[in-house]
Structures are given as C-alpha cells and as structure tokens.
Amino acid sequence: MAQTNRRTSRRSIYLKLRQMVLTLELPPGAALSENELAASLGVSRTPVRESLILLAQDGLVQIFPKIGSFVSRVDPAQVADAQFLREAVELASLDALPPDPDPSVITELRDNLARQQRPGLGLEEFFELDEAFHHGLIRLSGHGNVWTTVAAAKGHLDRARRLGLHENVSPAVFADQHREIFDAVVGGDLASARTAMRTHLRAVFSDIERIRAHSPELFATGTSSVPVRRNVVVWE
C-alpha cells in the first residue's frame, strides 16, 4: 500500500508540475528549486525530484549537474515536429468523417463554440475550450482516442500557443477560425474545412516569430546553451 501511495504521489506531483510548465506559471528558462517546489506543494523533495526527472524525459525540464534544474525554453524545432503530427492527425480525421456525423458530438461542438464567444473569457478557459473543440472534431471521425497521443507530444507546442494567446488582445480570432472549420464540416465542404484547419493550426509559427523578436530568452537557440551560476543563475 505504501508503494502504491508513493507512486500516486509522484504521479500527482508530476502532473501538477507539468501543468504549471504548460500554463507558463513556471515560465521558459525559470530556475527550479526542489526545496521551494516541495514547500509550495506540501510534499517532500523526493516526489519533486522524481517528477523533474520525468519532465526532463518529456523535454520540458533541463537538469544540469552542479548547476540546477530549469524549465526548458520553447524549442521551435520541437514545436514544428508536434505541429506536423497534430496537423497530420487532424486533417486525416476530417478525411475520415462519416456521411452523418454523431449528432450528440455536433451538439457538444455547437455549445463549445458558443462558450468560446463569452465576454471576459479567460485565456486558460479559452485554451481548454480550444482543446475540447479539436478533440471533438477527431471524435467525429471515430478516432477520439488518438488525442491522448497527440496531447502527450505537444508540450512545446502548447507553450508556444499560450504565448501566442497572451500576445493577442482577444482570442476571438481563433474562435472565429473554429467557427469557420465547424461550418465547413457540418456543411459537408471537406476541402474548405481542410484549408481552414491548416491555416488555423499553422498560425503558431507566425506567433513564434513575432514573440521571439522581442523575447528571445523564451526560446531555445540552434546551439546548446548552459546556464551559469554566478551570484544568480544566468543563461549564456
């Protein structure tokens, strides 16, 4: 029983820290203190240390011996790889749509789109609706379970998308794109749905270039960089 509780604790701490990284609560490049994280989460250092190792395997944390652990900076190459996977899956799901899509999922998507238009919607609320919308479209194809694989691969992509949301005054432009995709799907216009989906998913690349122009420290460079511990830890 104790071993089971330990695994459960490590899993819950891992998921909590992963969410803090993905939502930018722990921003790219941030130094991570095991002691501080353990204190804030009310646990010992052991599950925190184990969770950081798992996050390093995910590519979301970097651990440098004798220097420390850091949230990895957003890697445009990994964003591109995740985007390639996601686009391939989502376009394939459009091709696999049945002649009469599940009406209950269509109703869910209509409700989702309505909630995306609510005044004062927070960015994280919108992000959750965005995820549910895209998952819903894949469910229409009968391959909803593949979303788990896509979600696991897009940590760097999700951080880039959130940075893009923070750059925009309102997420309304993305909500409008969702509406365009949905209308094409229910109207049976597969070609327009594919074009709109491709344009929508690739918007993250222009977001990256715009953000990197004024905040390059958030992004990994083509050459490996290692933080240096002086009076404070800095990246070089």
Q: What share of the chain is helix, strand, coil (3-state, %, to 5)?
A: 70, 10, 25
Name which of 144, 146, 142 is nearest 100 in CA terms: 142
First to last CA, the chain: 46
Q: Could you give the C-alpha distances from 193 to 65, 87, 216, in angstroms and in order?
A: 49, 13, 34
Q: Is the pTM of this model over 0.85?
A: yes
pLDDT of 10 reads 83
CB 90 within 8 A of CB 181: no
Residues 6 or more apart whose Cβ sits within 8 Å of residue 4: none
CB 159 within 8 A of CB 76: no
pLDDT of 84 reads 97
Task: Tell me the Cα Rg of the chain.
Answer: 20
User: Locate tokens 């052991």: which residue?
Assistant: 46
pLDDT of 232 reads 46
pLDDT of 138 reads 98
pLDDT of 5 reads 58
* pLDDT < 50 positions in the chain: 1-2, 230-232, 234-235
Give per-residue pLDDT as tens, 184-221: 999 999 999 999 999 999 999 999 999 999 999 999 98
pLDDT of 213 reads 94
